[in-house]
Amino acid sequence: MEDYVIEMLHITKEFPGIIANDDITLQLKRGEIHALLGENGAGKSTLMSVLFGHYTPEKGVIKKDGKEVKINNPNDATALGIGMVHQHFMLVDIFSVLDNIILGSEPSKFGFLTKAEARKKVLELSNKYNLMVDPDALIEDITVGMQQRVEILKMLYRDNDILIFDEPTAVLTPQEIDELMKIMKELAAEGKSILFITHKLNEIMAVADRCSILRKGKYIGTVDVKNTTKEELSSMMVGRDVKFAVDKDEAQPKEEVLKVENVCVKSKLHSKDSVHNVSFNVRAGEIVCIAGIDGNGQTEFVGALTGLDDIESGKISLCGEDITKKSIRYKNTHGMSHIPEDRHKHGLVLDYTLEENMILQRYFEPAFSKNGLLKKDKTRKYSDKLAEAFDVRSGQGAQTIVRAMSGGNQQKAIVAREMDREHKLLVAVQPTRGLDVGAIEKIHEAIVKERDAGSAILLVSLELDEVMNLSDRILVMYEGEIVGEVDPKKTTLQELGLYMSGAKRDTGKEA
């Protein structure tokens, strides 16, 4: 008999109108790295919520070490040694690493903290797994990769032996990803069992032993990673064959659409500029990508470009017209489309319906209103048309409150809206964030089609695959500056990684 630490057998969880988990079985062996793969809305989160006791399943049992257990709340899960590294870290920025690790289970005597012991244990663990964490550093001073290790240490400190990683690589550089993979392998070798939630196939191939695939709430199967290929995994996940490389011809750049000259943006946090002297141009019919690690000024730059944030100095021209000081409405109606980085904060009014969101920048246009009165039927038709073209799925069609839609569908709705608006420049910030391969493929195709139709496209992305696949030129941003321009056909991921981490920079900056 196999040695399973956790078994989730025939789990069924229903919500009104939808079966989120339909007879799903997931068995985690001791000491293995088990990937859980699935599209958006496939039921991964629901399954993990069941494991953590957020939900009680209608059917099915959970077994730990072969014995049936009841998990009614997250505390039960913790008691069973199940720990999770969340996609968004749960750390207190102004606390030290050590304080964060002991938070929630502080060792104390007579009401006084006894940190010495805790420190010893943390250092031991850190050395054992080569985590190299400084217990006294403040969270806000260390890199994202380090912060993730603190999260890992938190689980180890609590003696968890079932570790769940929820899309852990989304925020890391290629080098950091490699190191995380090494750490995961070491943890598994030490007998910890790892459940690895992701939709990045490369990582599964690199690190996982087995992989379970969910699709639309159903269990598709579990495969040994050794005996499978990326193509097989993806077709199991999506239910059809998926192309990875984006089909595109050589770019045919024409006239200059966007020209950015010496743009500086003041930082809200410190005295240094968060964007410093950035200059480049984007021509019609090409995709220019700004690559870089999260937090190197991309957000601030896009803010200045689109008008969401103030610009300190410099000049931005759209089709030869100076738009540096123009209002957002002006930019919206004069040829700029913007797929924003944060779809919840900027891209959507979450409590509005899908149709109301589809006309967010256009509600005042004659097509959607007359004399200040909204044309609801026109809006409905328009929304339905866009939803069909971009396969935006929602519970109650155009009248669905957007908050109730899945993240992937929310993103598709924004992409649909921004692509359909009349524009000369498309600013796409992480357009495929949180989407599965099937949806990514479609959005990439749409972006390339846009380019071929003569749009200028400025892509800002943290996903290196996307950067390499999609762009015609790559600009790398590091600490607020463009440190290099590379041709995606001539560069490698490693070279890009060096630029992104600041280890390499072009001396003679090209525009």
240-247 — which CB contacts under 8 Å span 24+ positions?
240/438, 242/437, 242/438, 242/441, 243/441, 244/437, 244/469, 245/469, 246/444, 246/445, 246/448, 246/469, 246/470, 247/445, 247/448
CB of 304 to another protein, least distance (A): 14
- Going by C-alpha positions, the residue among 498, 378, 441, 83 that lies closest to residue 245 is 441
Considering only 186, 256, 363, 380, the residue that binds another protein (CB under 8 A) is 363
- Going by C-alpha positions, the residue among 280, 234, 230, 274 that lies closest to residue 257 is 280
The answer to whether the beta carbons of residues 92 and 151 sit under 8 Å apart is: no
Q: Residues 375-394 vs another protein: string with x where CB under 8 A? A: -x----------------x-
Q: What distance in Å separates the CA atoms of residue 27 and residue 45, rounded to the nearest whole number?
A: 16
CB of 197 to another protein, least distance (A): 10
CB of 272 to another protein, least distance (A): 25
Which stretches of 92-229 are DSSP H helices?
97-102, 115-128, 144-157, 174-189, 201-207
CB of 57 to another protein, least distance (A): 12
The CA-CA-CA angle for residues 61, 63, 67, to 5°, reads 120
Secondary structure of 450-485 in the HEC alphabet?
A: HHHCCCEEEEEECCHHHHHHHCCEEEEEECCEEEEE
Q: Kindly state whether residue 369 participates in binding another protein, applying the rule CB under 8 A.
A: yes
Q: Which residue stretch of 136-144, 180-188, 339-347, 498-506 sits at the interface with another protein (rule: CB under 8 A)? A: 339-347
- Going by C-alpha positions, the residue among 474, 496, 498 that lies closest to residue 485 is 474
Q: Which residue stretch of 48-56, 181-189, 261-269, 289-297 sits at the interface with another protein (rule: CB under 8 A)? A: 48-56
CB of 462 to another protein, least distance (A): 18
Q: Which residue stretch of 127-135, 282-290, 364-372, 463-471 sits at the interface with another protein (rule: CB under 8 A)? A: 364-372
Q: What distance in Å separates the CA atoms of residue 218 and residue 12, rounded to the nearest whole number?
A: 9
Q: Kindly state whether residue 395 participates in binding another protein, applying the rule CB under 8 A.
A: yes
**How many Cα atoms occupy the beta-carbon half-sphere of 393 within 13 Å?**
7
Q: Kindly state whether residue 338 participates in binding another protein, applying the rule CB under 8 A.
A: yes
CB of 85 to another protein, least distance (A): 12
Query: Of 285 and 340, which CB lies nearer to another protein in the complex structure?
Result: 340
Q: Kindly state whether residue 335 participates in binding another protein, applying the rule CB under 8 A.
A: no
Considering only 366, 372, 453, 489, the residue that binds another protein (CB under 8 A) is 372
The answer to whether the beta carbons of residues 156 and 125 sit under 8 Å apart is: yes
353: β partners = 401
- Find the binding residues for another protein in span 341-360 (CB under 8 A): 344-352, 356, 360
DSSP notation for 139-172: GGGS-HHHHHHHHHHHHHHTT--EEEEESTTTT-
Considering only 74, 145, 295, 502, the residue that binds another protein (CB under 8 A) is 74
Query: Of 13 and 210, which CB lies nearer to another protein in the complex structure?
Result: 13
The CA-CA-CA angle for residues 11, 3, 159, to 5°, reads 85
Q: In the structure encoding, which two tokens stand for residue 89, read together?
A: 């870290």
Q: Which residue stretch of 42-50, 148-156, 258-266, 423-431 sits at the interface with another protein (rule: CB under 8 A)? A: 42-50
The answer to whether the beta carbons of residues 343 and 337 sit under 8 Å apart is: no
CB of 368 to another protein, least distance (A): 8
CB of 284 to another protein, least distance (A): 24
Q: Kindly state whether residue 13 participates in binding another protein, applying the rule CB under 8 A.
A: yes
The site for another protein, by CB under 8 A, has a size of 61
Q: Kindly state whether residue 148 participates in binding another protein, applying the rule CB under 8 A.
A: no
Strand pairing category for 108-109 and 112-113:
antiparallel
Considering only 5, 6, 11, 20, the residue that binds another protein (CB under 8 A) is 20
Binding residues for another protein (CB under 8 A): 13, 15-18, 20, 40-41, 43-46, 49, 54-55, 73-74, 86, 217, 306, 308, 327-333, 338, 340, 344-352, 356, 360-361, 363-364, 369, 372-374, 376, 393, 395-396, 401, 403-409, 434
